[in-house]
Structure 1
Amino acid sequence: MNIPGKLLVTSVSKHLDVATLQGWAYLPDCLLHSIVAMLHSSLDLVAFAATCRSWRVAFFAYPSKSAFRTLCPPLLVRQNLGIQTPISGPHNRHTLKFIDPSNPKINRHCRIREEILLEFRYAGSSYGHLIFFHNKDCLVVDAFSGAEVSPPRLPSVTELYYCSTLTGPLASPNSHLLVSTESSLFDWLVGSDSWSELKFSNVPIKQIVELDGQFIAMDDHMKIYTLQLAPKLVLQELPAEWCHGKTPRQCLKPWLVVCHDMLLMGCYDLRFPFQRSAFCTLHLLDMSINPAKWMEMKKLNNWALFVAADTRDPPFSCINPERWGGRSNCLYYTQGSQPWGVRWLCNEPDLAKDPSTGRDLMFTRNMLRQLQSLWVYPSMFYSNGQ
């Protein structure tokens, strides 16, 4: 971590005599916050917070932690089968590898219980946590620390979990875990001892996102709903029309993503034969008019999107990706053999844009039984550290 000498001396001298410093652990918060502001890597920020207790306190006191989730790229999580743990038996730990797109040569390894991956069905990720189910049992696991939270057992058993998401950090007040199945939306208020249930009358909810404090849901027919959590679960359809009255056709696995104050829908276009030639179109939901209208986007300008292969993993957006070596108006998508592929957005179909990836890499999405490669931000980026 290189710190310009001029910055160090000037910042410190404004607040205290340099001679009073007793070591790196005693640097003032104002200086530590200036260091945090210069970091463009999620792993660098994790390393900063792990340096010592005072640096960790300074990180959690940083006033704009939420900005890290758009200024830094998310981390790629992959199972690292090549690393063997010395522990054996029922509590063996399985290694996950975290790769930072801003510097792929630097990575981090974390471990979760192996039996979770062997016995539980994967059901999605949210706020830096992985969500699993086994029969009626649910498990929420911090991807970085392996810490586990066990909600109450679900009232019923299902084979399909279309969507699983938290509405806030686990430690925050009034955080909920929402789980969508074929016929119901289940809601667990974190810390309570039971689930509430909302029965579906039409089709299941496939994705839930938050936009300016409002929860937005989408079903399998690309219909949009507002979601109310209290005093009880309520889904209200949000009427929306398509630009020129034309609903996108031949699209596969549409997904929602929030870019600052924009709600976008991405569609995997299948108008071209063989999936390797498909491309991603984007529409912006204009909610300033009634009814709302989906407007086709020609370009995403200075944003990049990150999408995983599992439809239950949330997509992320990153602004000005060139600041960490990325590319604007591009889609970064996970792959099995390669870490990720890169394609243009809102343009004519192209083959893999990144020369480091193979020309045959395909962008596909589905619900997967086991944990696959996914994008995630550390849970500490959402937490106050209390």
Structure 2
Amino acid sequence: MRYLGCSYGYLILSYTEHCFLTDVYTATKVKPPKLPRNNKLWRFYGIGVLMAPLNSPLLLCSKSSMLEWQVGTDCWSEHHLALGHENIRQIVIFKGDIFVIDYLMRIHAVHFTPQFSVQELEFMWESFFPINPWLVSCADMLLMVDLSVSSFHWHGIYSHTFDVFRVDLAVEPAKFVKLENYALFISLDKRNPTFSCMSPERWGGKSNCIYAAKLLEDPDESWVAVELGQPVQEKTVQYLFYGRAYPCDYSLVSSLWVFPSLIYGFG
């Protein structure tokens, strides 16, 4: 069984020509129709996401194509991805639009109307280039979280910090603007969902803080909280760069943050 992601409270799993959606809270299962025989989701890296709660399309991506299933129908639509056979590392739905990050750290917008197309977005990198970025949808903002190298010590050890930026899609090319007063929830595995929360002090959290779910193999803790601008511990960095290992071992599964499906009004 291959893990493809988690979306709106559902785990997305596949095995050869079979796909399953499993509610993490109730264990209810939804079984879409059989996948195309040559889907490559099992053999290569695959990632899946629901565009909205369960009555919306389910998207599954391999290196070469995007499969689309409208819940309740009996077939899949297949769309070719012209990304040079690069893996898609993350899919984010923002204001009904689809954004993906590939392994070369390029960000693309995916459009289904008037016809299927993939557009690479141009960005003006202001004094940095993302090393290990996450996209986070937050109300009317699209955020980018990056683990950057802040300094280099003489004994060969790097210091890392988290930075958060706002992706301004209204600017050509788009720019990144640093943000404050948010708590962000990410997972080491880009197949897992990301979340954000404004003014987290309301529930005892901290602003300007990253809550990162870690690999299950970490013997100490399943998550870590790091304040923006503060050094990230070396052992945390090792786990955070799991997604940049080559070749990637996508059979590993990290801890993840998830809202139960009932939060979205179903399940």
TM range (shorter): 0.7 to 0.9
Question: Which structure features the higher share of helix residues?
Answer: 1
User: Is the partner of 1:278 in helix, strand or coil?
Assistant: strand
Q: What residue in structure 2 maps to residue 221 of structure 1?
A: 104
Q: Encode CA deviations 1:226-272: one digit per residue, 9 max, x unaligned.
A: 222346532223332222xx5516x13x2101222221122222565
Structure 1 residues 344 and 319 mapped into 2: Cα distance closer, same or farther (>3 Å)? same
Distance in 1 (CA, whole Å) between partners of 2:96 and 2:81 is 24
8 Å contact from structure 1 (residues 265, 284) kept in 2: yes
Q: What residue in structure 2 maps to residue 10 of structure 1?
A: none
User: Is the partner of 1:380 in helix, strand or coil?
Assistant: helix
Q: What residue in structure 2 maps to residue 147 of structure 1?
A: 28
8 Å contact from structure 1 (residues 129, 142) kept in 2: yes
1:350 deviation in Å?
4.2
User: Is the partner of 1:141 in helix, strand or coil?
Assistant: strand
Q: Does 1:238 align with 2:127?
A: no
8 Å contact from structure 2 (residues 82, 118) kept in 1: no
User: Is the partner of 2:35 in helix, strand or coil?
Assistant: coil
Distance in 2 (CA, whole Å) between partners of 1:313 and 1:384 is 20
Q: What residue in structure 1 maps to residue 226 of structure 2?
A: 343
Distance in 1 (CA, whole Å) between partners of 2:143 and 2:122 is 16
Instruction: State the superposition RMSD in angstroms.
Output: 2.4
User: Is the partner of 2:226 in helix, strand or coil?
Assistant: strand
Q: What residue in structure 2 maps to residue 381 of structure 1?
A: 263
Count of residues paired in the alignment: 247
Q: Does 1:263 align with 2:142?
A: yes
Paired amino acid for 1:160: F
User: Is the partner of 1:328 in helix, strand or coil?
Assistant: coil
In structure 2, stretches of 5+ residues that fail to align are 244-248
1:370 deviation in Å?
4.7
Greater C-alpha Rg: 1
User: Is the partner of 1:182 in helix, strand or coil?
Assistant: coil
Q: Does 1:161 align with 2:42?
A: no
1:127 deviation in Å?
0.4
* TM-score for the superposition, normalised by structure 1: 0.58
Distance in 2 (CA, whole Å) between partners of 1:127 and 1:196 is 22
Q: Encode CA deviations 1:45-91: one digit per residue, 9 max, x unaligned.
A: xxxxxxxxxxxxxxxxxxxxxxxxxxxxxxxxxxxxxxxxxxxxxxx
8 Å contact from structure 2 (residues 110, 117) kept in 1: yes
User: Is the partner of 2:262 in helix, strand or coil?
Assistant: helix
Q: What residue in structure 2 maps to residue 132 of structure 1?
A: 13
In structure 1, stretches of 5+ residues that fail to align are 1-119, 352-358
Q: Does 1:195 align with 2:76?
A: yes
Distance in 2 (CA, whole Å) between partners of 1:121 and 1:262 is 32
1:327 deviation in Å?
0.8
Q: Does 1:288 align with 2:170?
A: yes
Structure 1 residues 191 and 305 mapped into 2: Cα distance closer, same or farther (>3 Å)? same
Paired amino acid for 1:329: N
Distance in 2 (CA, whole Å) between partners of 1:301 and 1:372 is 27
Distance in 1 (CA, whole Å) between partners of 2:27 and 2:115 is 32
8 Å contact from structure 1 (residues 207, 255) kept in 2: yes
Paired amino acid for 2:89: K
Q: Encode CA deviations 1:319-366: one digit per residue, 9 max, x unaligned.
A: 111111111111111233313111122x15244xxxxxxx84445142
Question: What is the correspondence of 1:98-117 to structure 2 with a 5 Å cutoff?
Answer: none
8 Å contact from structure 1 (residues 333, 341) kept in 2: yes
Q: What residue in structure 2 maps to residue 314 of structure 1?
A: 193
Distance in 1 (CA, whole Å) between partners of 2:266 and 2:78 is 30
User: Is the partner of 2:171 in helix, strand or coil?
Assistant: coil
8 Å contact from structure 1 (residues 131, 164) kept in 2: yes
* TM-score for the superposition, normalised by structure 2: 0.82
Structure 1 residues 182 and 344 mapped into 2: Cα distance closer, same or farther (>3 Å)? same
Quote the sequence identity (%).
Answer: 37
Distance in 1 (CA, whole Å) between partners of 2:144 and 2:81 is 23
8 Å contact from structure 1 (residues 122, 370) kept in 2: no
